[in-house]
């Protein structure tokens, strides 16, 4: 089972406009914690005017799914739109949508004047699979067939998700953020291919999954680093894009960190007065903060350049 991490630091300015910066990828060897992330957020806050609203650490666990399907048939461009609801822990009814890639039309029926809809028997099976994986009572309002030429390619994982590969190798990730843990997500993935034991809910092979565990923290807006400062550029719209270089597995790589609401005193005009950039002192300081967060043995960052976007700001 592979693990990797990402992090988000969220800023808010005096006008209550929010923005953020993403730190990724973060290798498992870094052993990131919210304590380390707070230390990084505090270091970066010294260069900006907005306060740190909060921060999030995301742990991604990726593993295989025991799919009963040997060969994929059809295209991930075809979709089954699942509209469902459930009652959360606070007793509030929540609504969601899930897109099944490459649905098997054997589990659908043609409703005149409406289109293809999943049969009641298949809907009951899907409700059971979703309820088992989530620990909730899922109620499906309808599942309708659609053709969407977008949403296929390399795939995007932005929540706990299942990977589906179609007949010609196109990959999509189907989000299912309600899964209780990795094992539940793996079981749900296998159920997507099993269907009613004769026809699967999808004709694409589900062979991998990724489970997201997110830890969030909120900063006190009355004290640092949550307290916003007053400055010439006190809006999050004044963004510094700070570029870092590092060596990983013998290869030179780059990463970028965004500093919303960069302090003007931390910047200088570029040659020919064509825009702004952060000073080398600030760039080196950001590199040191990032190296401390990652650990020098895992990633030693070096400041290599920047640009500051302050267009249309007074």
- Given 215, 249, 269, the domain boundary residue is 215
Do 232 and 211 reside in the same domain of the chain? no
Do 73 and 198 reside in the same domain of the chain? yes
Q: How many residues does the chain have?
A: 314
Identify the domain containing residue 142 by its residue range: 67-215
Do 26 and 82 reside in the same domain of the chain? no
Buried b / exposed e across 66-97, counting CB within 10 Å, b at 16+?
ebebeebebbbbbbbbbebebeeeeeeeeeee
- Given 215, 242, 267, the domain boundary residue is 215
Q: Look at residue 200 and tell me if it is in a domain.
A: yes
pLDDT at position 291 is: 98
Peptide bond into 225 cis (omega under 30): yes
C-alpha distance from residue 174 to each of 54, 102, 161, 198, 265 (Å):
28, 11, 5, 22, 46
Q: Look at residue 157 and tell me if it is in a domain.
A: yes
Do 170 and 288 reside in the same domain of the chain? no
pLDDT at position 41 is: 96
Angle at alpha carbon of residue 22, lines to 21 and 23, rounded to 5°: 125
DSSP string, 209-221: EEEEEEEEEE--T
Q: Look at residue 221 and tell me if it is in a domain.
A: no
Q: Look at residue 314 and tell me if it is in a domain.
A: no
- Given 188, 215, 242, the domain boundary residue is 215
Do 79 and 184 reside in the same domain of the chain? yes
Do 146 and 275 reside in the same domain of the chain? no
Q: Look at residue 61 and tell me if it is in a domain.
A: no
pLDDT at position 153 is: 42
Do 295 and 242 reside in the same domain of the chain? yes
Do 207 and 240 reside in the same domain of the chain? no
Number of domains in the chain: 2
Residue 281 is inside which H or E element, if any? helix 280-294
Q: Look at residue 58 and tell me if it is in a domain.
A: no
Do 240 and 182 reside in the same domain of the chain? no
Residue 93 CA to residue 96 CA, distance in Å, equals 10
Do 202 and 138 reside in the same domain of the chain? yes
Per-residue pLDDT of the chain (314 residues; tens, 9 = 90+): 789 999 999 999 988 999 999 999 999 999 999 999 999 999 999 999 999 999 999 999 999 999 888 899 999 999 999 999 999 999 999 999 999 999 999 999 999 989 999 999 999 999 999 999 999 999 999 999 988 765 444 455 778 999 999 999 999 999 999 999 999 999 999 999 999 889 999 999 999 999 999 999 999 988 889 988 887 778 899 999 999 999 999 999 999 999 999 999 999 988 877 789 999 999 999 999 999 999 999 999 999 999 999 754 44
Do 279 and 245 reside in the same domain of the chain? yes
pLDDT at position 314 is: 40
Q: Look at residue 60 and tell me if it is in a domain.
A: no
C-alpha distance from residue 301 to each of 17, 266, 275, 288 (Å):
30, 19, 25, 7
CB 186 within 8 A of CB 65: yes
Do 114 and 250 reside in the same domain of the chain? no
pTM: 0.84
Q: Look at residue 62 and tell me if it is in a domain.
A: no
């Amino acid at each position: 089972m592979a693990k990797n991490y990402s992090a988000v630091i969220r800023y808010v300015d005096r006008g209550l406009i929010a923005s953020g910066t993403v730190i990724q990828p973060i290798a498992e060897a870094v052993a990131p914690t919210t304590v380390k992330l707070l230390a990084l957020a505090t270091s970066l806050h010294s260069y900006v005017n907005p306060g740190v609203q909060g921060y999030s650490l995301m742990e991604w666990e990726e593993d295989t799914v025991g799919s009963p399907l040997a060969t994929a048939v059809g295209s991930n461009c075809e979709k089954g739109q699942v509209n469902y609801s459930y009652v959360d822990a606070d007793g509030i009814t929540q609504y969601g949508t899930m897109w099944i890639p490459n649905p098997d039309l054997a589990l659908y029926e043609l409703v005149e004047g409406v289109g293809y809809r999943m049969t009641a028997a298949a809907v009951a099976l899907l409700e059971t699979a979703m309820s088992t994986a989530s620990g909730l009572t899922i109620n499906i309002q309808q599942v309708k067939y659609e053709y969407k030429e977008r949403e296929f390619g390399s795939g995007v994982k932005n929540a706990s998700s299942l990977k589906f590969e179609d007949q010609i190798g196109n990959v999509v990730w189907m989000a299912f953020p309600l899964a209780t843990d990795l094992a539940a997500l793996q079981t749900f993935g296998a159920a997507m291919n099993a269907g009613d034991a004769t026809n699967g809910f999808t004709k694409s092979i589900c062979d991998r999954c990724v489970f997201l565990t997110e830890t969030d923290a909120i900063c006190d807006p009355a004290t640092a680093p949550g307290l916003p400062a007053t400055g010439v550029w006190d809006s999050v719209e004044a963004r510094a894009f700070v570029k870092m270089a590092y060596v990983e597995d013998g290869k030179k790589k780059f990463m970028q960190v965004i500093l919303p609401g960069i302090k003007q005193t931390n910047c200088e005009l570029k040659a020919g007065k064509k825009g702004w950039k952060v000073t080398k002192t600030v760039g080196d300081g950001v590199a040191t903060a990032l190296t401390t967060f990652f650990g020098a043995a895992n990633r030693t960052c070096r400041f290599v350049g920047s640009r500051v976007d302050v267009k249309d700001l007074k």
